[in-house]
Amino acid sequence: MAERTLFEKYGGFSKISKIVISFYDILLDNDEVGPFFDSVDMSRMVDHQTKFIASLLGGPASYTDNQLRQLHSHLCIKHVHFDELETVLKDALEKHNVAAEDVAVVVAEFGKRRPLIVR
């Protein structure tokens, strides 16, 4: 029997959507990173981010390295911004009772995308 993914373990898109909404609730009030989202359609952003986080948990959605690079190429995201995103993601996962070892896996997967996002 195949081992279930973290995506399945934590309830699929429904639960991940709630995590992503918490993520943005925190992020939008952040003085360092919040301004990146000032003129963004947040319902669309939540949808994309839900798919992205789902992919980090082994879910069906995925983004290629090239897509991630292109989606962020017009932004001036620095390491300090990415560090803040990691911290907020970790906090949102913990808030939704994701086990510590699973949080570590997701944050590590997120961290692997740093070179594609940071300029």
Domain ranges of the chain: 10-117
Q: How far is CA 32 from the centre of its chain?
A: 17
Q: What is the tens place of the pLDDT at every residue in 61-103?
A: 888 999 999 999 999 999 999 999 999 999 999 999 999 999 9
Q: Which residues contact 62 (CB under 8 A, 6 or more apart)?
A: 55
In terms of CATH architecture, what is 10-117? Orthogonal Bundle (1.10)
Single out the residue of 114, 37, 46 nearest to residue 83, CA to CA.
114
pTM of the prediction?
0.91
pLDDT one-digit tens code per residue, 2-53: 689 999 999 999 999 999 999 999 999 999 899 999 999 999 999 999 999 9
**Interacting residues of 60 by C-beta distance below 8 A, sequence separation 6+:** 7, 54
Nearest Cα to Cα of residue 30 among 82, 117, 88: 88
